[in-house]
Structure 1
């Protein structure tokens, strides 16, 4: 049955690609002299998976006026084990092609900006790009393994253009420094959804904090749009010319614009940690049941976060989440203290609880030392500022029980 479904889906894809090819016969068959190549950039949308923006390569046949957009951002929710593969970091995306008008109408209606950059490719380069895109559109070549940062719908567009230009884009952009890291770009673009921004920041490891060059940072549509504006090509007469011949805003943005710089999470998370610690201490003195509930909530969330980070590191291909130093702050050891928090209202913590608490405090100390040591790239300051007061308050609360128990002995 599964083989039958795969066969049916394959032939459906063949039919779709065949239909698309037949409607694009002008672009597919025209001479390179008649091909006009443009980079189309779509601004970020309101939904979280649209926050990074999107782009496409437009081929226009100047003889017939036919325009076709090629983009690498198609995925299928109905794919077998889609959610499971997504969780493991094995996402399958497709290249797609459709008339420019149909695609652009969607973004206009959504209120997202559309910018067109016409590129100075020679007829030979334009024909080579066209042939590569149609080759890539074949069913046996259409699917690729998606990666958020190094192999996504924008890097595929970037690489296709660079391939047609003989590596000029990569050669020039790798020499230029990037403006931000993967982490900074991620939290900047996701800041409209604070809960998701915090989850992503917590889950990203040191890979996300490595310095980037302009080529790497062009994983984002708006960065690619900005960076190719500075690319120069040989004009064939001993001089140079810009790659971008002209840039046109086809449709203005009507949505909220992402901030230019990423938010500083240190202050809000530091304040949140101090407030939670103060509540825990106050509840320990005046409302033991509330203290037990607050302490359990913190330990439960810390343990679950640790399990999630550990699974991302050991069971998935999400390399941006590997070796996450936030595991020193939040880890499954927290589950071992849940019983002690409830018992601590009346009984001193067990020897095991004391050992676990000591190990956790040592882990936080290691996290602090790692932060100040040279060569450590991961930016963990916001989560250290949150976790440190919470763990110290919890340790104080557990020690208070032990002191009370000792004082009650004759």
Structure 2
């Protein structure tokens, strides 16, 4: 009995070493792309993609998943804000991979690729090389380099010009912002936050291959891809058959509801201020402080991070970073400074420029900002008249 632990160690070592030597796949092998449905959490909202390698003759059935991240990694949230989030390639059995989607009742579709045995073995070598500890981590980019976009990159890297991505299935080529909005309720805090953080750089049209950063588009693209002039897709099947998750928002909890409420509240307070010849400094301080904090954060996302999607963000034309300083100058001075009216004209003028940029489609803004901009405009115009008294 005392030899059993040693025998077990030797057995598992042999199994691990046999796989680490990369077995030669047989004629019964298959390599496929798995596409998983969107879920309820924000990081599941766009679906998921992964590769499956199976060979019934060798007893292999594993999933290579480029969408693995670890909340417990040091400075995870700080790196997320800085645009330095690390994702990893993981390898696990197909059954273990599928269990999560069964639990959450999310559909999974499988697209088997039409490859020769030699090409399958080359792909397996590629995956195993990527899975080495020194290679498995990569710098994640939500729009340009993620678990789904890497599908197109791998196919191009492995097969070069033999791979052709046909765009005929697309109604049109969308911008990155339009593609993201297709998976979110625009009147949700998640969509508003993403729209707020995105700069004008995401309002360019994505290339045909760049559409593949969304798993649903990667799946559709595989149906419309050829290798050496022949369809890359050999067969498609549904592994788990569940209905699409529908996001049902509750309007009283939505940003539009609260911003309309703020607009009405500000209009009433401003009417009363005008009637009584007073100004509600606490309201103005709050608006200056809030917009100043937002503007400062957006400015940092633009210049102080590595995010590729946050530069050139003209939301700072209404969320002025200067408002952060103005808030404290305003609250601690009993009389408005002489230059204050000029600053208000400057702020109103910048909002006018924002509208022009919006109309010209240089940057598309969330419609949710409209009631908030009207709120600011009401107070700016009121303070302009109050400064003349």
After TM superposition, the score normalised by the length of structure 2 is 0.84
Match of 1:95 in 2: 89
Q: In structure 1, which of residues 102, 106, 109 is the aligned counterpart of residue 103 of structure 2?
A: 109
RMSD of Structure 2 on Structure 1 (CA)? 3.4
Map 1:318-397 onto structure 2 (within 5 A): 318-338=307-327, 349-373=336-360, 377-380=362-365, 382=367, 385-397=370-382
Q: Distance in 1 between matches of 2:293 and 2:184?
A: 22
Report if the CA contact (8 A) 1:121-1:165 is conserved. no
Q: Distance in 1 between matches of 2:152 and 2:288?
A: 45
**Cα offset, 1:282, TM superposition:** 2.9
Match of 2:125 in 1: 131
Q: Distance in 2 between matches of 1:287 and 1:189?
A: 48
More helix by share: 1
Q: Distance in 2 between matches of 1:176 and 1:45?
A: 24
**Cα offset, 1:42, TM superposition:** 0.8
Q: In structure 2, which of residues 270, 273, 294 is the aligned counterpart of residue 305 of structure 1?
A: 294
Map 1:286-301 onto structure 2 (within 5 A): 291-301=280-290
> For this pair of structures, how many residues does the alignment match?
373
Q: Using the TM superposition, name which of 117-126 and 362-371 deviates more.
A: 362-371
Once the two structures are superposed, residues 202-251 of structure 1 have per-residue CA deviations (whole angstroms, 9 ceiling, x without a partner) of: 111011111112210100111100111011234xxxxx532212211111
Once the two structures are superposed, residues 52-94 of structure 1 have per-residue CA deviations (whole angstroms, 9 ceiling, x without a partner) of: 2111111111423421110111122232322222211011111
Map 1:7-406 onto structure 2 (within 5 A): 22=16, 25=19, 28-31=22-25, 33-169=27-163, 172-173=166-167, 179-191=173-185, 194-234=188-228, 240-254=229-243, 256-257=245-246, 275=264, 277-285=266-274, 291-338=280-327, 349-373=336-360, 377-380=362-365, 382=367, 385-403=370-388, 406=389
Q: In the superposition, relative to structure 1, how do residues 112 and 175 fare at CA in structure 2: closer, same or farther (>3 Å)?
A: closer
Local SS of the residue matching 1:350: coil
Q: Using the TM superposition, name which of 348-357 and 383-392 deviates more.
A: 383-392
**Cα offset, 1:356, TM superposition:** 2.0
Report if the CA contact (8 A) 1:116-1:247 is conserved. yes
Once the two structures are superposed, residues 110-160 of structure 1 have per-residue CA deviations (whole angstroms, 9 ceiling, x without a partner) of: 111110111111222111111100111111111111111111111223322
Once the two structures are superposed, residues 169-194 of structure 1 have per-residue CA deviations (whole angstroms, 9 ceiling, x without a partner) of: 45545996754322123233232881
Report if the CA contact (8 A) 2:189-2:255 is conserved. no
Q: Using the TM superposition, name which of 382-391 and 116-125 deviates more.
A: 382-391
Q: In the superposition, relative to structure 1, how do residues 381 and 141 fare at CA in structure 2: closer, same or farther (>3 Å)?
A: closer
Q: In the superposition, relative to structure 1, how do residues 257 and 241 fare at CA in structure 2: closer, same or farther (>3 Å)?
A: farther
Q: In the superposition, relative to structure 1, how do residues 62 and 388 fare at CA in structure 2: closer, same or farther (>3 Å)?
A: same
**Cα offset, 1:105, TM superposition:** 1.3
**Cα offset, 1:43, TM superposition:** 0.7
Local SS of the residue matching 2:238: strand
Local SS of the residue matching 1:68: strand
Local SS of the residue matching 2:190: helix
**Cα offset, 1:254, TM superposition:** 4.7
**Cα offset, 1:30, TM superposition:** 2.7
Match of 2:3 in 1: none
Q: Distance in 2 between matches of 1:119 and 1:180?
A: 27
Q: In the superposition, relative to structure 1, how do residues 71 and 42 fare at CA in structure 2: closer, same or farther (>3 Å)?
A: same
Local SS of the residue matching 2:67: strand
Q: Distance in 1 between matches of 2:58 and 2:122?
A: 20
